């Protein structure tokens, strides 16, 4: 379990595994959607599906463990901003794969983990080379929300990293060291 002086190996492992994978998925997602790089779609979807159980495990672990206690005392406003950003990060990391699967599944494009299909594609019988949506409503909202949540998550991560830099460079406290697994007694 986590203590004020030291985070458990599980907390550190889950933070960095999920954090770094999310950063890569955001980067690849925006790049492939902007430039229509078809070859990247199956890779993005596969890693997005693979990381989903790890994200759920992380959320369960966080609620069983409670939120981290700050290493020193901060102003009230700073504590509130940190709490809001941590909640946003945790919630949006769950909503991103959910909306991604909703969009890809309902739109008829399908998804899976590399060659293992979980929801198959639905090739159109009337328009060669295209797909027919299983559920146009779910496909539309899955797509919209995946994009909106993606940009809100990106903004939350930027705020998070600014906060970490403030702790490191201005407060010169041990927040980062603790998330790197060190005992900060």
DSSP run (H or E) holding 118 = strand 116-119
**Minimum CB distance to ligand HEM smaller for 103 or for 108:** 103
β-bridge mates for residue 116, sequence order? 113
d(CA 50, CA 110): 15
Q: How far is the CB of 183 from ligand HEM (least distance, A)?
A: 14
d(CA 3, CA 166): 22
Token pair listed for 8: 């458990």
**DSSP letters along 69-110, please?**
PPSS---HHHHHHHHHHHHHHHHHHHHHHHHHHHHHHHTT--
Interacting residues with ligand HEM between 67 and 126 (CB under 6 A): 68, 70, 86, 89-90, 93, 96-97, 100-101, 103-104, 111
121 phi and psi angles, rounded to 5 deg: -80, 165
Interacting residues with ligand HEM between 144 and 183 (CB under 6 A): 146-147, 150, 157, 160-161, 164, 175-176, 178-179
Size of the site for ligand HEM (CB under 6 A): 41
**Minimum CB distance to ligand HEM smaller for 50 or for 124:** 50
**Minimum CB distance to ligand HEM smaller for 45 or for 108:** 45
**Minimum CB distance to ligand HEM smaller for 62 or for 140:** 62
Q: How far is the CB of 163 from ligand HEM (least distance, A)?
A: 8
Q: Which residue has the tokens 């909703």?
A: 102
β-bridge mates for residue 120, sequence order? none
Q: Mask 26-65, x = binds ligand HEM (CB under 6 A)?
A: x--xx--x-------x--xx--xx-x----------x---
With contact defined as beta carbons under 8 Å apart, do 7 and 72 qualify? Answer: no
**Length of the chain as a residue count:** 185
Residues lying near ligand HEM in the complex (CB under 6 A): 11, 15, 19, 22-23, 25-26, 29-30, 33, 41, 44-45, 48-49, 51, 62, 68, 70, 86, 89-90, 93, 96-97, 100-101, 103-104, 111, 146-147, 150, 157, 160-161, 164, 175-176, 178-179
């Amino acid at each position: 379990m986590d203590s004020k002086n030291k985070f458990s190996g599980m907390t550190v492992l889950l933070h960095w595994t999920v954090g770094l994978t999310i950063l890569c998925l955001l980067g690849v997602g925006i790049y492939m959607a902007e430039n229509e790089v078809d070859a990247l779609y199956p890779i993005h979807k596969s890693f997005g599906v693979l990381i989903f159980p790890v994200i759920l495990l992380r959320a369960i672990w966080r609620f069983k463990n409670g939120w981290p206690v700050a290493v020193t005392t901060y102003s009230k406003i700073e504590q509130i901003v940190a709490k809001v950003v941590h909640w946003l990060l945790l919630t949006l990391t769950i909503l991103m794969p959910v909306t991604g699967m909703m969009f890809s599944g309902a739109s008829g494009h399908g998804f899976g983990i590399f060659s293992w299909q979980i929801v198959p594609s639905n090739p159109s019988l009337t328009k060669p080379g295209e797909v027919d949506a299983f559920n146009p409503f779910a496909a539309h909202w899955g797509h919209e929300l995946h994009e909106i949540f993606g940009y809100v998550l990106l903004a939350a991560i930027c705020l998070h990293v600014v906060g970490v830099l403030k702790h490191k460079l201005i407060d010169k406290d041990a927040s980062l060291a603790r998330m790197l697994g060190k005992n900060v007694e």
